[in-house]
Amino acid sequence: MKILTLNFTVLFILQLFSLNIYGQSSVTIHDDKTVTFQIHALYANSVYVEGLGGVMGGNHYMNLSPEGIWEVTTPPLEAGFHYYQLVIDSVAVNFPGQPTYFGWGQETSGLEIPDDNLDFYLPNKVPHGDVSAKWYHSKVTNTIRNALVYTPPGYHSDLNLRFPVLYLQHGAGESEMAWVYQGKVNFILDNLISSGLAIPMIVVMDNGYAAKPGAENPKRPSHRDNDFDKLMLNELIPIIDRNFRTLKNKRYRAIAGLSMGGGQAIQIGFKNLDMFGSIGVLSAYPWRFDMKAIYKDYDLNEELELLWLGYGKDDRSHKNGLRFHEELKKERIDHIWYECDGGHVWQVWRKHFYDLATHLFK
Amino acid sequence: MKILTLNFTVLFILQLFSLNIYGQSSVTIHDDKTVTFQIHALYANSVYVEGLGGVMGGNHYMNLSPEGIWEVTTPPLEAGFHYYQLVIDSVAVNFPGQPTYFGWGQETSGLEIPDDNLDFYLPNKVPHGDVSAKWYHSKVTNTIRNALVYTPPGYHSDLNLRFPVLYLQHGAGESEMAWVYQGKVNFILDNLISSGLAIPMIVVMDNGYAAKPGAENPKRPSHRDNDFDKLMLNELIPIIDRNFRTLKNKRYRAIAGLSMGGGQAIQIGFKNLDMFGSIGVLSAYPWRFDMKAIYKDYDLNEELELLWLGYGKDDRSHKNGLRFHEELKKERIDHIWYECDGGHVWQVWRKHFYDLATHLFK
């Protein structure tokens, strides 16, 4: 019995100092798109994985082996990017040793399930653009902020060229990082530009939360406390136009976004038709905005080079998109209506962006 | 009793769906630099925080309140950046809802304790440079890689200017992100350049792990499987010189790094004196390298513009630094020897970098 106790103590010490810290947990994606999660957690009572499908997904309860390894293999997962977390004894945490992405209002584990038939968002062997972090002090928020800026291949070699600019926004709970790290927007554009399907362009991605000084929840302000429209118009666009070789007129300036960011593209884009010549709306939910006032005051077919709407057919926002689409048809306002399979997920937005980018600035 | 059970069930459901996911955990830094960690974990048996001092730090065991909140307040912590993790029922995880940084070989929670007397690494109201992610396909590793490149304020406005380049490497278990996100190297340089104490320069930060194709542990290859020197000389430097407005000679090219990266600066720098005119060594441990052969074959005072060594006095690597310093003195090789209080931690490397940058390229 003495020996058993000792072994147990040794195991315990080894576990604390090595097993989880140095990678004794694993996530394995199998060829059939099922995924096995394993984690050494000898002293836990309940462990499961949550997420992995749609906005919050489902729960995948893990079983404990006699060796103290909790394990579950999921059904085949949809191709694309999935947020998830591990819940240990009712505490939701990120899966140890796995990459995280800013979503769900915080750093959150993310899993990429490959699609055997699609490579348009992969880092293929084509020339790559850069993604720059541009820091600036904002008077609107009274904080330092950080926008990510994609510049296309060739931006640094021919210094006489100027480029159109797309302002591209993430969804609720995400950040300025999302379109690059979850969306792979830079690789999508690298591939499109390389094959001649998209015009070389600059893409600016800032954080859609811009809290007024003194706001109750500065990281995720309420709609009333969010001055993102003011920030974009008064600060971000001038900073980008000063620091990058942009084409500085509405013909070559677009705004687009997904979900919450799609709402912002509508709000900011339609209210500032002197600034934006193209608007892209991806999976946006309903919005409080008097489109009728816009129809009356402006000839949208005259004002806009491109109005692009994209929705996943399995997304609850799809019916809102359809309603918008029908309204635009009725008013004879030119637009592109793009549907694809899938829900409120990044794989859909990657496909959306691909199509949107082929139409922009042409 | 029925009502009590119901309340309990409701509490349980609320807990699963909201408390930890939506921020019912907290980390509070008090004015006296003590830190309170709180987390709702009603069903856990043991919860503690580990790290927070030096390489792995200590354990801070948490106590459970009747409401199911685990809590601990640490002693006052040293100013600067600290890695840490939360251990729940023996599983080491990142602290929910808190920022993470790539260290310890994976995404790891990080905490910044402010220093009331130092602001040289803060984003002060000075012009800011950009940090660009430069993607490239490496033939050495047969993978796509990503170097971060700091360009100083003004880089984009006067297109005739060319700049010196510092190649700057992170420590073991970290990544190309570390000098920016843990080290604040961009803000340190912004401040130094703004006050005229440093020459405007480009800083290139790549991942110090460059596994040969087929290596056993591609993310963290053994020394034998790591072709980082080949990658830097054959691929990285040419890519940077092609894509950025650099000064392309050794007088204006430096290499430096911390800990493992300091070893790489020694290995790559001294073996390629035709390529590098300055070498910076921060808190490097011993290395297998025949310095004597270098003394014999080269006049280092002729070859090097700057040889800079920095060590924290409380760091176990300090005695190695001292030995190197004494050897250089004996051989009458010019160098700067810089000591400061502190151990093997980022606050020391921020101070190191500050001093190093004031001497570079002058």
Mutate to test the interface with A, among B91, B134, B157, B202 (most CBs of A within 10 A): B91
Q: Residue A243 belongs to what H/E stretch?
A: helix A237-243
Contact B130, B200 (CB under 8 A): no
Q: Kindly report, residue by residue over B137-160, the tens digit of the pLDDT.
A: 999 999 999 999 999 999 988 889
**B106 and A23: CB-CB below 8 Å?**
yes
Contact between A312 and A344 under an 8 Å Cβ cutoff? The reply is: yes
Which of B89, B135, B149 is closest, CB to CB, to A128?
B135
Chain B closest-CA separation from residue A36 CA (Å): 18
Q: How far does A316 lie from chain B, in Å, by closest CA?
A: 21
Rounded distance, CA B26 to CA B69, Å?
11
pTM reported for the whole predicted model = 0.91
Residues sharing a CB contact under 8 Å with residue A296, sequence separation 6 or more, in sequence order: none
Task: Provide Rg for chain B, Cα atoms.
Answer: 23
Residue A28 structure tokens: 């394995």
Residue A313 and residue A250: Cα distance in Å, rounded? Answer: 32
Q: Which of B23, B43, B244 sits opposite A89 (nearest CB)?
A: B43
Which residue among A42, A90, A93 places its CB closest to the CB of B93? A93
CB atoms within 10 A of CB A321: 24
Question: What value of ipTM does the predicted structure carry?
Answer: 0.89
Which two tokens mark A112?
């990429």
How far apart CA B99 and CA A196 sit, in angstroms, is 39
* Residue A184: predicted pLDDT: 98
Sign of CA dihedral A196, A201, A207, A210: negative
Q: Render pLDDT for A351-362 as a digit per residue (tens, 0 to 9).
A: 999 999 999 999
Per-residue pLDDT of chain B (362 residues; tens, 9 = 90+): 333 333 333 333 333 343 344 347 999 999 999 999 999 988 899 999 998 876 567 899 999 988 889 999 999 999 999 999 999 998 999 999 999 999 988 999 999 999 999 999 999 999 999 999 999 999 999 999 999 999 999 998 888 999 999 999 999 999 999 999 999 999 999 999 999 999 999 999 999 999 999 999 898 999 899 999 999 999 999 999 999 999 999 999 999 999 999 999 999 999 999 999 999 999 998 666 777 888 888 999 999 999 999 999 999 999 999 999 999 999 999 999 999 999 999 999 999 999 999 999 99
